[in-house]
Amino acid sequence: MTTTPDDPTSTLPGHPPVVDLDSWQAARDELLVREKAHTHEGDAIAAARRRLPMVEFDGKVEVVGPDGPVPFLDLFQGRDELVVYKHMWWDGAPHQGQCEGCTYAAWHLKDAVYLNARGVSFAVLTAGRWEEVAPFVAFMGYTQPWYSVRDVAPPVGDNMGTLTCFLRDGERVFLTYSTTGRGNEAFMGSFALLDMTPYGRGEAWEDKPEGYPTEERGACWYWRADADGNPTWGPTGRPVPQWTRPGATPADTLGRQGQHH
C-alpha cells in the first residue's frame, strides 16, 4: 500500500524541489535524452576503439605466477583475447599499504565467467616481486590469476594502474588498447551505481545541488574501514573487503614511506 503526503510538493531543505510524479517523469524524460546521446556516443567510441592499429610483440616473454615463470601467451588460456588489469605495487609495504585505487578496482572482477564465455581471458599483472604479491593475493581473497611483470619490457610491464587488451593469432600477440586515468571505471560497477544515487560518490570533486550533505570523504574512502565499516586511515583500519577476516589485526601504518611504485 502506498500513501501520498498531504502536500506532495512541500520542500525539503537542502535538497532539489519536491514535485508530483508527472512533473518528475517530465524531468526524467528530459534527462533521458542526454543519457541516450551519451550511450550512443559510447557505442561510436567503442567502434573506433575496435579499429585502432595494433602493436605486435614477443608473446614468449616470461611473467611469474604461482607456478613460476610462464610465457605471456599462457595468460590467454587458449583463448584469442585477453584483458589485464595492471595493479600498482609498493615494494615492501604491508597489505594495507598497497595501492588504494588498484585494490578497489581488482575487487570488482572476482569471476571472469562472462568474459570467458565470449572467448576473453582475464588476469592481473603487477610490478611487485612474486614473493610479496602471493601473500597479498591470498590475504585479499582474490580469485583472478595474478602475475608479476617485474623487469618485463613494455607493453607487458609498463603503465601500471590501467586496463589493457591483447589479441592472439596463433603464436602472434598484439597490444590493441589501454585505458588512461578514469578509463578504469569501466569495470568498477559500484561507482556507476553510486552515480545514480541522490548523494553520489561522496567525493569532493562532484557537482551536487546546493545544500546537499557536505561531508566529503575524499578519494580512496572505499579502501580502508574499521570493524564497524567506517572509512578510516586510523590504526583500526584495514582493506575494506578484509576487515572481518579472522586474525587480521589493526594496522598502525601504511608502511610505505619512501617507497615507490
Domains, the chain, ordered by start? 55-183 (3.40.30.10)
pTM above 0.95? Answer: no
All three cell numbers of 123: 588476469
Contacts (Cβ under 8 Å, ≥6 apart) of 149: 63, 64, 86, 125, 126, 127, 156, 157
Render pLDDT for 169-223 as a digit per residue (tens, 0 to 9). Answer: 999 999 999 999 899 998 899 999 999 999 888 887 888 888 787 655 555 677 7
Q: In angstroms, rounded to a whole number, what is the distance separating the alpha carbons of residues 197 and 209?
A: 13
Residue position matching grid coordinates 586474525: 247
Residue 80 has pLDDT above 90, yes or no: yes
All three cell numbers of 216: 566529503
Percent of the chain with pLDDT over 90: 60
Render pLDDT for 133-165 as a digit per residue (tens, 0 to 9). Answer: 999 999 898 999 999 999 999 999 999 999 999
